Structure 1
Amino acid sequence: MSVVKSRDEVALLVKFWNQTEGRDKFCKCLQYGCRGLAWLLMEEKDLAARLSALYKTTADSRKIFRLGKFLNEYLKLQQLFKSTDPQLDQLSKSLNVLNRAAFFAYWVCDNLSILSKIKVIKGDTPKLAKRAFLFWFLALVFGVLVELHKLQKNLDLQIQLQQQQQQQQSAAAKKNSSDGGEGEGERATAATSEALSKLGTERRNIALNIIKNCGDMITAGNGIELPHKILGFGFNDGLIGLGGFVSAFISCFQTYPAA
């Protein structure tokens, strides 16, 4: 039995790695994990230097594989503008458009930054990198606002369903006392319970997305020197590594195939 389970896990891991997004997030775990460990083990100079070299190389490699990713955002923006989804209210649509537009600008600057760094084009690499960090930070802020709006709608719907469930249970109890057996009331209550369960699952995903965005905000905020301006000092590589690793690990968890 253990052999079969091992083979299944290997198959799932290969399936995960074969996804472009999955491989990128795995490399992101490696990048930020090494960055945090290099800071943590700074007294072990040789090991810290090797970990630092690995994190920097992984960071540049990920940037190369993300060339042209702004096209993904272009398609997402097109879909948003064409969307007729009744659940996508005006505020949701506006926040999502701002989120995807900021990511579009981020990918463009990120692509130009790495092309400048490897001398494919002429450009001010540090300036392009800082501009990329700015758009990334804005995208993350809008991303958090998107999730908070989802959470508000989720909680409002939960209250409605809970009230509906109480009414259904009360009606079902009265009906059962008069004619006995399961009827429409029980089935309606079961459907409401299932809807409430789905809302709970959605809230967990919302919480994970908020944590993920906040983890990346540590890196993006430091890239635009936000903590320097507010706190008077920048975040160390240990904190940046932790934030990036947590964000990447959550992405891996969300992307990893269920079966």
Structure 2
Amino acid sequence: MDITALLATIDAKKATIGHYQPLPEEEMRILAHQTKVEHVWSSNAIEGNTLSLYETISVLETGLTPQGKPIKDVLEVLDLSDAYDYVMDLVQEKGPVTQTMIRDLNRLVTAKTTQDVRQAGNYRDIEVWPQGLPKNTYTESVDIRPQMAQLVAWSKESHNLMHPILYAAELHRRFVSIHPFIDGNSRTARLLMNFALLESGLPLINIRPDSISRDKYMQALYHAQQTGDPDPFDLLIAQYVDKEFDERIQVLKLHEQNIKDAESQTNLPKDK
């Protein structure tokens, strides 16, 4: 399925969500927590964090530090948890993308792991390359400030003109290609992308960290940066959104069926 057809399918699924009975508040809270934990685990794992999903849950829910794991990996879990909560607050506030918001996201993402607290949220002063390869440079340090200003201006102009999935994907691509910070750029980019999805009523997505999924994600990004062709990356993000809608609809259908089953399978009087 090409990107245009998939976007139309997703729009149709989004329109049907409101036809189902909502989940009970407690179940919605549990699902929201599970989504957060999966994001913290997967987004960190893509960057090399060694904590498993179970160990990430343990850190967030019990405060226990897994034995034999680097303390930096534990601190990254705590940092990304705080940054995730910040994004949820921003969605509720319905604020625009700004340089201050992006700086604060990066501050939270790297708060406990940066060696110099002044680096958190501070644009880099030196040149960096993806995986140490100078042939594919990020934005030169002297151009970061104007390019970040252009990114914010583009966001303001485009977020109501583009399909929300294409806008979210391009926001991710544009930001990560600038790579304005010394650390935490990719985790910040995925949070920005999910902010854009959530503010448009779309589900949050978590890029899977297994080697196949990670390689597909990185190759689609690299392809867009090198050729200017965004379609593979846009399609990848749309596929994640489509899958999330399928899972959400499946849960809502099950909820309605469970209500019907419970109502019919009883020997008690109807007023009990």
Q: Which has the higher contact order (CA 8 A, sep 6+)?
A: 1
**TM-score of the superposition, structure 2-length normalised?**
0.27
TM normalised by structure 1 equals 0.28
More helix by share: 1
- Which of the pair has more CA radius of gyration? 1
